[in-house]
Structure 1
């Protein structure tokens, strides 16, 4: 049914429900029977829109495949080789994401844990006056100021599953995101100590994760960024997560944290930062890798990415954390208390709105200020329900520049980056 709606939504309405125009009569009965409930706001359901309960798996029956990793909460399995797992939205309710609830994103194999984490070394070289080689122990010693920040980190492909037609890569929902508390030294301080040359305009990052092939000459991933982001005061070389040593699966003992930009720039198991006079050309750079079209391209078309730009600051997005998709509530429930988090890459969130009548009307939620720059923001509020039946909670955030989550994933690209469509959670009352 999902494939049918992707092909031609209006025609699919006619084929599946006998619907032409407003949802009423036999078409309304058919859809209500499929959902197992009346639809109080049926007259407001846009034509060609497949109800969320039928468009995506719910948490009860036919749900996603889950995985239980050591020391982790149950996560949605996105891939086994490399290992990738998504956090369900309802596990993202903490203001500071615990290690057990953090999503897992790998590009290669997970390296063996070092026998002496304090002896782990990072090298900074290239366009610097004095190359540096530092151990984790030296970073902890106080030579450079240690700072602690709550920083949101999001996979560049978060929301990929909302693109139509489907793109390559793990079909993430909204849960490839976290906001942990990171402690480390500013990358800026290390670059200043190395003496950044005038020609140093870009970085290249290297980690110890082996390539899936086992070839030691190949990098699992090696990305880089503009020097302006590298010297941002919140770009950290992190040694602790939530006050504890970083778990191995999340990059122990040393990782880069580049908040607000694609998580692929937050290199795990960090060993080297190469300062360059030109954009980095490592694994995961160039072509269509972590890049999006400057001008829209035909969805589903092939493209070599020659006219794409780098994906940098992530777009505004929100999650609903106290009600899961597919929730059933007691008969007579007439109001929903909602809460979640929202974030907007380099920017802040200006507003969050929710709707229960298919987007016809919206109610503004309360949006708290971030704990610090690059921390996500708590939102909360209440919406009213007129009766029992089938409802959808739609929720959307607006960033500090007034840009709002779109109703459908925009700017289609072959690898599915930058999707931040309005989310829909199906709720049954009674």
Structure 2
């Protein structure tokens, strides 16, 4: 007997075929779907409304109203997260719960590679700094606070695999949609101040980060993850060794009592449960530091292609991205209302976002949003926009950010074997009742 397949699975395996199976839609040379007749009626029935701009709807596009998941998970100190894996625990935040300028601890996503330590109390916790330094350090959290300037910064922190679920063919790993991102207010000290106190040797090239989490196998000889960054990134004044988020102790699942915040780069460089920073005279080769982990091909590759390890490069700055945080996808406007005020956030790795545009007609036209400056470098930026809808029906709102280098979110980003760096335009569904 053939296996029943869900709508998302159908679209992940072959979106064009899924269109034909589910809605009878045929694809033209410009990838428009020619959705009409019975297919148009079928999709309208499923969505509960007609689609005013159906002629602009790309083929192979699962409607946003059908793509969202509302599964919640209960974790102490967390609420509303959608669990992707329970060993290790990984959970993402629905977009509407990321509406705050400062992400609440309860809504901050969880990304683990191993098993968190049982003891996450600050008392007795020590950090070693050694390797290519003139004076090795062994510091308590109190020592860090007493010896170095304490700073608080809002920093965007995103998993390198955020958006993996959107790649076709599918890539292995946690199937993040859009919620492996947060922007908390982190309190700690600058890593560069600590490294300066240790005295870097001329041979210092790269950091190696080590944590107290253990391997899923239980083998003490195995390390779940140990990554690092070039010295210039470690010495950036916004790279922190932190012990508080949003004015309170870091949540145990987010790395208590001590962690690194290496903003704008893959979250894996921001080691949790930090116990050691080793300075190396070579590019660090710890667990998940070598290809294909947290690496992408140097050049574009055909979807599904095999890529030799020598053809990968380590991911550094994350791509430009945006998120619609209000309204929640699936909203129906009240009777007599055809205007909607939108808001969200945008960010861009080491860069600043310079523009955000939104569309309600599948990208045929765009409206420029109002964009706020970040409170400090590496914080995401608030944007707001207003759209008016010409008639009743089903609409998709798309958001597209552009950074200072002119790089813009694509509709479909380049595929890569591990499903990293998906910065496709975010989209939500809105119903206009009348």
Fold-level similarity (TM above 0.5): yes
Q: Which residue number in structure 1 is paired with residue 379 of structure 2?
A: 375
Structure 2 partner of 1:39: 51
Q: Which residue of 2 aligns with 1:86?
A: 92
Spell out, residue by residue over 1:235-269, the C-alpha distance to the aligned partner (whole angstroms, 9 max, x if none).
11112211222222211111111010011111011
The 5 Å alignment of 1:206-355 reads 206-355=210-359
Partner of 2:31: none
Partners in 1 of 2:55 and 2:357 — Cα distance?
Answer: 21
Aligned twin of 2:430: 427
Deviation per CA, 1:177-232: give whole Å up to 9, x if none.
11111111111111111110111000110000111111122211100111110000
> Cα distance 1:70–1:401, how it changes in 2: closer, same or farther (>3 A)?
same
* 1:60 matched residue in structure 2: none
* Cα distance, 1:108–1:13 mapped onto 2, change above 3 Å: closer
Contact 1:113–1:248 (CA<8 Å) still a contact in 2?
no
2:388 equivalent among 384, 391, 398: 384
Q: What do residues 125-159 of structure 1 show as CA deviations (whole Å, max 9, x unaligned)?
A: 11111111111111122x11111111111111111
Q: Within 1, Cα distance between the matches of 2:286 and 2:106? A: 31
Give the C-alpha shift of residue 420 in structure 1.
0.5
* Matches of 2:129 and 2:314, distance apart in 1: 23
> Is 1:159–1:172's contact at 8 Å kept on the other side of the alignment?
yes
Counterpart in the other structure of 2:64: 52
Residue by residue over 1:66-101, the C-alpha shift from the partner in whole angstroms, topping out at 9 and shown as x without a partner, is: 201111112010110000110111111111111111
Mind listing any 5+ residue stretches in structure 1 that lack a counterpart? 58-62
Match in the other structure for 1:126:
131
Q: CA distance change for structure 1 residues 7 and 243 in 2, over 3 Å: closer, same or farther?
A: closer
Q: CA deviation at 1:396?
A: 1.2
In structure 2, the gaps of 5 or more residues are 1-6, 29-33
Judge which range, 243-252 or 347-356, deviates more. 243-252
Q: Distance in 1 between matches of 2:249 and 2:65?
A: 41
Aligned-pair Cα RMSD in Å? 1.7
State how 1:135-214 maps to structure 2 within 5 Å. Answer: 135-141=140-146, 143-214=147-218
How far apart in 2 are the matches of 1:368 and 1:180? 17
1:162 and 1:409 in contact (8 A); partners too: no
| Aligned partners of 2:12 and 2:167 also within 8 Å | no
Q: Distance in 2 between the 1:295 and 1:361 partners? A: 31
Is 1:66 the counterpart of 2:45? The answer is no
- Residue 409 of structure 1: CA displacement? 2.7
Q: Give the corresponding residue for 1:414.
A: 417
Matched-pair contact (CA < 8 Å) for 2:291–2:314: no
Q: 1:239 to 1:46 in 2, by over 3 A?
A: closer
Q: Aligned-pair distance for 1:64?
A: 4.2
In structure 1, how many angstroms separate the alpha carbons of the residues matched to 2:15 and 2:211? 45
Number of residue pairs matched? 421
